Structure 1
């Protein structure tokens, strides 16, 4: 698939926010392939990047993915061959959507997503209490 890259749109805000260019994305699909939560998304992380490069801002900002992806997870960043900070990309997109008055497009994420958030929260709390006790994580 050949990408059409435009210079306008929210791509500039995203690139400024992450201090990297989105054209670094290899479109390899490892980010979506390695994600255990893709059933929650309407766009894969790769499709979000592709849509940003194609200047399809409305499609990206109206997606469920930007509200669900990148919260308490870094699996896609770890397996990304070029190390794109997908958590930061999604955070910038959430801020941009909020500026435009766009609200999340879901009533409530599924139980799978809540379990994931719950586990991530307790993992962080455990790390914090271990470091406070003087033990190493």
Structure 2
């Protein structure tokens, strides 16, 4: 049986956006294994890549994973042996889902969504407040 590749599918869009081929994924599962929040997801990062390679666009866009992964966290990206930019992949998928009118399939995002957003916001506010007070860090 021959696998039919949809050249105009999301896979092509993702690959063009990240500047890498998804076929470089080794399917080693280190990305999911390195994620402390994997119990929150319906798909692992590896399964998202695999589904994109298998032209299962609907499965990916309907997943809870794309809405929760890749927000100020890079644990999976750090352990990826081929350096796939998983944060960027998830951002492209969220953008495409939004264009198609697909929304998250749950009432409230999980706590990790807020945790990641809060951490990024908190870090920016912390940096801004230190610079606005005129304090400078002195070398030790």
Q: TM-score range by the shorter chain?
A: 0.7 to 0.9
Deviations 1:100-126 (A, max 9, x none): 111111211233443343234323433
The alignment of Structure 1 onto Structure 2 pairs a total of residues equal to 133
In structure 1, the gaps of 5 or more residues are none
Contact 1:37 1:113 in 2 (8 A): no
Indicate the RMSD between aligned Cα atoms, in angstroms: 2.1
Relative to structure 1, the CA distance from residue 79 to residue 127 in structure 2 (aligned partners, 3 Å threshold; closer, same or farther) is farther
Q: Distance in 1 between matches of 2:18 and 2:117?
A: 24
The runs of 5 or more residues in structure 2 that have no matched partner are none
Structure 2 distance, partners of 1:27, 1:131, is 44
Summarize the Cα distance change of 1:127–1:12 in structure 2 as closer, same or farther, 3 Å threshold. same
The answer as to 2:20 corresponding to 1:20 is yes
Change (3 A) 1:130 1:25: farther
- Is 2:8 the counterpart of 1:6? no
Give the 3-state SS of the residue equivalent to 1:84 in structure 2.
coil
CA drift of 1:72 comes to 1.2
Q: TM-score, normalised by structure 1?
A: 0.85
Larger Rg: 2
- Aligned 8 A contact 2:70 2:87 in 1: yes
Q: Could you tell me how far 1:135 is from its partner in structure 2?
A: 3.3
TM-score, normalised by the number of residues in structure 2 = 0.83
More off after superposition, 55-64 vs 114-123: 114-123
Contact 1:40-1:109 at 8 Å conserved across structures: no
> C-alpha displacement at 1:134, in angstroms?
4.3
Q: How does 1:79-98 map to 2 (within 5 A)?
A: 79-98=79-98
Cα deviations by residue, 1:14-40 (Å, 9 ceiling, x for unpaired): 001101100111101111111111111
Show structure 1 runs of 4+ deviating over 6 A. none
